[in-house]
Chains A and B, each alone.
Chain A
């Protein structure tokens, strides 16, 4: 099975295990849709959890260590009626939950009574659970309330599995009861208030429930009067492996794969979506969900079918719909939405807030507000304020805002620098004033920028860093009309941010305008002009226009060399970027010289353990590698990796270094060294960037590697992933999309899927032509590869022009001695030989060996 298929299986299985046995089939049917393979796989796994005989009995394998391994993975089987657990005898299964099975059991001594017995699944640390239960036992014994089912006993069975014994309640879940009895809103609220009363009683005794949900609130009827009873008090805490003695947030997790509690009813702090431990306000939250469901028939979040991480995200960040706007799924006795609108909406939403400190601070105030509503008095709950939601927006979109914030910091620093330069001749006091003024302008601008990110404006859609930038770019024009200097500086920074976000068109546009503005203000030669030139060049480079970027970088570097102190880091920046551009254009010797200069300069002005030195080493290693100077490349890159391992590089750079080293090790014929590096680099990039061209690059590299290792299926997976991410991030007209397609084609070729490979090659050539034209060696390389596909399929006439032209482009771009060029000559020779044209074959073979000699 492929990892991606397996991941899907894992999701569905995990989802099923979180549900009681009775609901699993529905879930699987739902989640698998018409994917029969998936479904078969899932069901074969789940079958093991439900009813197969114990593995211990199969196979007849003995042995001590082996037995304990088997025990660890063996499935649970329900206890048969008649079996004794301590002084209790099993009568029947009542139900199954995430943490174990609940039985109807009978006690004969010291008194005869029917009880509910919950047997916790294997795999939990039973002595810890029981110890913890004993600690709370005294407290639990004090719970004496008609609305709370009493906990009677706890212990461990002969296999060491903990069990809990409770008062047996023969009732139905509160939601079901209300629907069957067709209760009005008012009657439902009355019932709910009784539940609040019981929970509040427990809170006063210092006991949290931690797992409130309809199936734990059972309603029985005596003489036509409904009595809700809360069951399972104290059980969740005892079972939660993380409660007590731990400094971290206790998540409601068992050790066997389930959350204690149904995710829908769990507060953000319990689900791990927010830091902080459970307290009475967590129970308030769960009661809020219960009330929501009681009133609308729906839960605030539809978590069904979502992968696990997504559940946490939803609980932690999404706002529930107002109860009055929920359209009921069935027509069963819907309370009228008019009744819910207004105060009732407000009450429910207040209990469901993400932050405990903003909910009702206890069950009592919550119940009091419900009572006020029932009595027609004003309630105390208030809707969220706007300023609060804006603050929350910034927190919630931390990643996006972080990009904007990076831009913001850069803006302030940049604006201050600019002010300083402008005022070099002015006396200190006026300079300070000017700086303060610029800072104020920048800050006002940023405040405006974030106000634009008002979450109400973008209803229903998540604002991205891109949106923030777009707002900002628009507002630069309007708000800073009278401040051309500040305006230009901000445009440069925005352009850099767009480049970083891979939106090069806007980046070019802004940088071009900024460059014009700077030239108007400061003339042709000025540090500010150089900065705009660099930004514009970088934007072009991001648009795969390395040749457009080249003269801009050269001009900027010359300007900085002339204007700035020799030790100025801005010179290094320009040297480095020019080198990178030359590297892209395959002008390796000049690029190498510049990278060496950058490394020297960096070492001169930075401490020995500075990250910049690591970065310079990494860049130099890359260019050495590109020229086939493998020994020196290996030395340099190893030094870089060593530095990264000791903290002298962040995850992004570490991934770059690993990536380069991996390719190098592969080229040196050391696949075992290469593979972990490829994978670590991919992992780091997935973590740091998510869906991003850098992540795609790692997929691409890994795919090429795996193909070399003849692990073609794996290679195909990563190749497709690379194409998918690149296209999503860059569109169809980008060089890197072209390269990814070409590699995908090669994988398909290895699988003899010629038609698909051909289509991929065409897509590749299209993307490369659209981004770089047809004259670069990259285009030639893909043409050559395409030609080889056709040649090997026996289509010699169609292959010839592709192979020949490909060779010529490689020769022109990389020179006769380059490995790619020689390989292409060799490939052309093979074409002619198989085509029966020995003279031409010999000619190309000669070119290939001549290249090797020279």
Chain B
């Protein structure tokens, strides 16, 4: 298998970091931090490109961004399913952060705040109102985290990373069954709180 075009030094670094993650402990923690830093600009780039290509006719799936990053950055021959789950998990968290930062910045800008502080591709999020919705989801996830931390984690991985139940189970170290229950609950809870 030839690596897809566009895979570069970043890619081999990402693959290496994933393998470091397996060690856990300090090495693992450092690898997580490094991957987070590496994914942040990468995910933004991909999101912006997808949005330009699709011209807002189509929904931007945060999960599609994360998955594309995976395909671009990771050499699948060198990794196993556990690594994939780790990658998507970190990607989900970064994606959430990116979306929320952007949404907040827009909100701040409207209130006359400091818009220059966070740079962001304007093309990423189409409608203004979505900012409000995303911030609401973010805040709800934080609230849910206080009542049921794992359910909130599951929802985050699912909504922003598009991980499958099995992948989430691996990432969080619980059974798929538990993930299913958590997701069902988180989904309903979020839906209800949003409807308020």
Contacts and interface: CB of A to CB of B under 8 A. Distances in A.
Nearest to B144: A6
Contact-size category for A: 35 or more
Given A256-B184, A312-B175, 20 more contacts: A2-B147, A6-B147, A10-B148, A13-B188, A14-B184, A48-B192, A63-B133, A64-B130, A65-B59, A65-B130, A72-B159, A73-B194, A241-B164, A246-B81, A253-B165, A257-B184, A272-B175, A645-B26, A646-B27, A647-B25
B56 A64 contact: yes
Contacts of A10: 148, 151, 181-182, 185
B107 to A, nearest CB: 13
Interface stretch (B13-21, B37-45, B121-129): B121-129
B127 A259 contact: no
Contacts of B190: 73
Q: Which are the 3 A-B pairs with shortest beta-carbon distances?
A: A63-B130, A257-B184, A66-B130
Interface in A255-280: 255-259, 272
B158 interface: yes
A71 B60 CA distance: 12
A254 B191 contact: no
Contacts of B130: 61-67
B49 to A, nearest CB: 14
Interface stretch (A52-60, A745-753, A772-780): A52-60
A1 B192 CA distance: 14
Contacts of A312: 175, 177
A73 B156 CA distance: 11
Interface in B171-191: 175-178, 180-185, 187-191
Contact of A62 (B127, B155, B181): B127
B63 A73 contact: no
Contact of B177 (A48, A60, A253, A646): A253
B192 A44 contact: yes
Nearest to B170: A248
Contacts of B129: 60-63, 66
B63 A253 contact: no
A376 interface: no
B104 interface: no
A45 interface: yes
Contacts of B27: 646
Interface in A460-479: none
Which of B59, B128, B134 has the most A CB atoms < 10 Å from its CB?
Answer: B59
Interface string B109-139: 0000000000000001111111111100100
Nearest to B148: A6
Nearest to A53: B195
A605 interface: no
Given A65-B62, A73-B159, A1 B147 contact: yes
A645 B29 contact: yes
A49 B147 CA distance: 21
Interface string B35-61: 000000000000000010000101111
Interface string B143-157: 000111001000100
B11 interface: no
Contact of A255 (B24, B148, B159, B164): B164
Nearest to A49: B188
A586 to B, nearest CB: 35
B63 A58 contact: no
Contacts of B178: 308-309
A777 B183 CA distance: 49
A70 interface: yes
B99 interface: yes
A244 to B, nearest CB: 12
Given A14-B181, A45-B189, A48-B188, A65 B125 contact: yes
21 contacts: A13-B188, A14-B181, A48-B192, A49-B188, A58-B195, A62-B129, A63-B127, A63-B133, A65-B134, A66-B130, A67-B59, A69-B133, A72-B158, A75-B191, A246-B166, A251-B175, A253-B165, A253-B180, A258-B184, A646-B26, A647-B25
B167 to A, nearest CB: 10
A854 interface: no
B166 A55 contact: no
Which of B147, B159, B175 has the most A CB atoms < 10 Å from its CB?
Answer: B147
B188 A46 contact: yes
Contact of A647 (B24, B58, B164): B24
A62 B26 CA distance: 43
A25 interface: no
Given A66-B129, A73-B159, A125-B164, A55 B195 contact: yes
A804 B40 CA distance: 60
Contact of B191 (A2, A74, A241, A259): A74
A266 to B, nearest CB: 11
A461 B94 CA distance: 50
B166 A241 contact: yes
A483 interface: no
A31 to B, nearest CB: 14
A242 interface: yes
A10 B175 CA distance: 16
A251 B176 contact: yes
Contacts of A110: none
A312 B174 CA distance: 14
Contacts of A341: none
Contacts of A74: 191
A3 interface: yes
A68 B67 CA distance: 15
A504 B124 CA distance: 65
Contact of A646 (B25, B60, B165, B182): B25
Nearest to A259: B177
A45 B188 contact: yes
A7 interface: yes
B63 A66 contact: no
Contacts of B59: 64-65, 67-68, 71
Interface string A580-613: 0000000000000000000000000000000000
A17 B183 CA distance: 12
A69 B60 contact: no
Given A68-B62, A645-B26, A242 B176 contact: yes
Interface in A163-205: none
B125 A52 contact: no
Contact of B176 (A70, A272, A309): A272
A642 interface: yes
Contacts of B58: 64
B180 A257 contact: yes
B191 A48 contact: yes
Contacts of B137: 69
A65 B148 contact: no
